[in-house]
């Protein structure tokens, strides 16, 4: 498993070091900068070129692959500050990790948090991890694969139809095809967490799922027909349900996963349950990718307060998806 260091000014390097100290990186190799990782904690690093060299790393050393093209002097830059060099370094780590995993050198990627402003400052042409990984996963000359974001913890799994868009644009992006593709992707991905036919609840877009068209008709024109089309394909999808109650029903065991139309509709319920156990999973990629359910936390970077629990959960989820249980 590969672990990218994320934004060097945030808590990514800290939680990586802490997870290593707890024995959670036994089968993992970090892709990042030597000095940044050493600044994050009292850890010995062993630089290697390929994940296959992991067996040669001395006990107690953090295995590290340094990608080409990292900006110099990253560890000398201040913590908790947006910097284009940090954005560029995070992008180089992601690119190199994808090259390795696509070459079959690793089972998947766990990404520590990046900062979207630093990405933009560095001229990275993607708003976040999901879009970048989608583009890097495309075969030469082919369209990028359709992907979806899932946020999961022990109580709730939520898959999103739209992600990093202004709300007006996100509503326009809720189409019949987008909803149907999301349901298909969710169905296919469920085998990775041990369910071949998950019970998928679809949340509506409008209050009370539109109340029969009184509060909006997207449920009647778009979402409902997509749910019925998915059901006709054998997918156990139902809805659309009122967004303000469907997550409670799923948490109580009525459904295995909820499909939500927009970013905040879906992620607020999961994050409210606690970011420390939340995991972000990108569904639809030709490789496994997970990440912690939190950002760079610039306000606490370098203060010794960062909790590696969500990174640990992401590592465990990545292993589970990379090595699914036998049918």
With b for 16 or more beta-carbon neighbours within 10 A and e for fewer, the 209-226 pattern comes to bbeeeeebebbeebbbeb
With b for 16 or more beta-carbon neighbours within 10 A and e for fewer, the 270-304 pattern comes to bbebebbbbbbbbbbbebbbbbbbbbbbbebbbee
Dist. CA 260–CA 157, nearest whole Å = 10
Token couple for 183? 């349901």
For the entire predicted model, the pTM comes to 0.88
The residue written with tokens 């022990």 in the block is 154
DSSP 257: E
DSSP string, 17-28: HHHHHTTTTTT-
Written as tens digits, the pLDDT of the chain (327 aa) is 999 999 999 999 999 999 999 999 988 999 999 999 999 988 899 999 999 999 899 999 999 999 999 999 999 999 999 999 999 999 999 999 999 999 999 999 999 999 999 999 999 999 889 889 999 999 888 889 999 999 998 899 999 999 888 999 999 999 999 999 999 999 998 877 888 899 999 999 999 999 999 999 999 999 999 999 999 999 999 999 999 999 999 999 999 999 999 999 999 999 888 777 789 999 999 999 999 988 999 999 999 999 999 999 999 999 988 887 665
CA distance readout (Å), 242 to 168, 309, 313: 20, 32, 30
Domains of the chain by range and CATH?
Answer: 1-145+296-327 (3.40.718.10), 154-273 (3.40.718.10)
């Amino acid at each position: 498993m590969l672990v990218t260091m994320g934004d060097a000014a945030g808590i990514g390097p800290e939680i990586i070091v802490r997870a290593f100290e707890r024995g959670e990186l036994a089968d993992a190799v970090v892709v990042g900068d030597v000095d940044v990782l050493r600044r994050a904690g009292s850890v010995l690093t062993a630089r290697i070129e390929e994940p296959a060299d992991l067996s040669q790393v001395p006990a107690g050393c953090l295995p590290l692959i340094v990608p080409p093209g990292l900006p110099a002097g990253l560890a000398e830059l201040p913590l908790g500050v947006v910097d284009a060099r940090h954005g560029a370094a995070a992008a180089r780590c992601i690119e190199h990790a994808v090259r390795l995993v696509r070459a079959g050198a690793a089972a998947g990627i766990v990404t520590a948090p990046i900062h979207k402003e630093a990405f933009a400052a560095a001229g990275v042409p993607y708003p976040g991890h999901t879009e970048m990984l989608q583009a890097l996963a495309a075969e030469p000359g082919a369209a990028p694969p359709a992907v979806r974001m899932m946020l999961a913890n022990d109580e709730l799994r939520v898959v999103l139809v739209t992600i990093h868009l202004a709300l007006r644009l996100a509503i326009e992006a809720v189409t019949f095809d987008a909803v149907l593709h999301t349901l298909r992707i969710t169905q296919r991905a469920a085998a990775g967490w041990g369910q071949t036919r998950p019970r998928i609840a679809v949340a509506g877009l409008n209050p009370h799922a539109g109340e029969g068209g009184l509060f909006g008709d997207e449920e009647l024109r778009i979402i409902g027909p997509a749910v019925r089309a998915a059901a006709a394909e054998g997918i156990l999808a139902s809805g659309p349900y009122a967004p303000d109650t469907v997550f409670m029903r799923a948490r109580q065991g009525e459904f295995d996963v909820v499909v939500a139309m927009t970013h905040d509709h879906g992620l607020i319920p999961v994050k409210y349950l606690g970011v420390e156990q939340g995991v972000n999973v990108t569904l639809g990629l030709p490789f496994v990718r997970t990440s912690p359910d939190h950002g760079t936390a610039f306000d606490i970077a370098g203060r010794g307060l960062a909790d590696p629990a969500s990174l640990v959960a992401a590592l465990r989820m990545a292993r589970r998806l990379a090595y699914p249980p036998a049918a």
